[in-house]
Structure 1
């Protein structure tokens, strides 16, 4: 018998500052391959060619306005904001807890204040465009993507090493 891992608790850090009691939700980056269809002569059907990664982004929501996030809006470098999600996922079948961290760098591209109503908890959300992503599961790096450096490591294998080598980037 097996049970799904359930997120039992989480924390979001912004430049090392912990959002204890402030962060409501985090939508972690979706990893999506950009593909293009190709059907050449002699092929019995269409094959999808891998053209790299689609843009990465992460969204977080909070119970109200976050001044430090507002102060980061318009940062001039594409990797100017460092965010880290730390999640504790527990298997209710065995009780085992897995630590899952997602470390990203990018910049905020959208800040939404949402509806503001007196006497109600507000909602403040931020969407960040990313150029760096690292997924660490129980201390082991599973995936690391550095868009600017052309690095894409999955399960310890850099899948772009040969491409960087071919164009003289080591």
Structure 2
């Protein structure tokens, strides 16, 4: 029997600035594909055709205790990859004590800054929704998934899934 690796510690960095002790929660980007049903003539059932990344795949939501001036200064950034966030997590198995360093790096811009409820004497929390155009997931320093939407790259386990498509359109 084995126990799962669970998140034990984490930190979030915004343009290299640490939010240690300030980050309450991070909703890591969900990886999804856009699959559409196809049933051609003579087929006795549907197959799901892969049309790339899911429509809402490039979203990362995170929460900070209180208010942060840097996040407010970044609101309305003109470039789709204006700012960088880095999630660093330490996952551990409690049966073997084995740990894994998990890092997720995104580049994008903030779509939403939600200040929540403001009531004197109550806890305050700001929720930020960042929409990314670049994503990289590494475990123990090894890149597992790297997606660059604008650069038309999608590398999974060292294989660029879009390389032939770029070649086919002359890039």
Give the C-alpha shift of residue 79 in structure 1. 0.3
SS in 1 for 2:120: coil
Q: Where do 1:79-158 residues align within 5 Å?
A: 79-158=81-160
Deviating above 6 A after TM superposition, structure 1's stretches of 4 or more consecutive aligned residues are none
Aligned to 1:68: 70
**What is the TM-score normalised by the length of structure 1?**
0.97
Give the C-alpha shift of residue 38 in structure 1. 0.8
Aligned to 2:3: 3
**What is the TM-score normalised by the length of structure 2?**
0.97
Say what the alpha-carbon RMSD is for the aligned residues.
0.7
Q: Distance in 1 between matches of 2:90 and 2:17?
A: 18
Deviations 1:102-125 (A, max 9, x none): 000000001100012212221100
Aligned to 1:78: 80
135-144 vs 48-57, which deviates more? 48-57
Is 1:49 matched up with 2:49? yes
**Residue-pair matches, total:** 169
Is 1:13 matched up with 2:16? no
Q: Structure 1 unaligned runs (5+)?
A: none
Q: Structure 2 unaligned runs (5+)?
A: none
Aligned to 1:165: 167
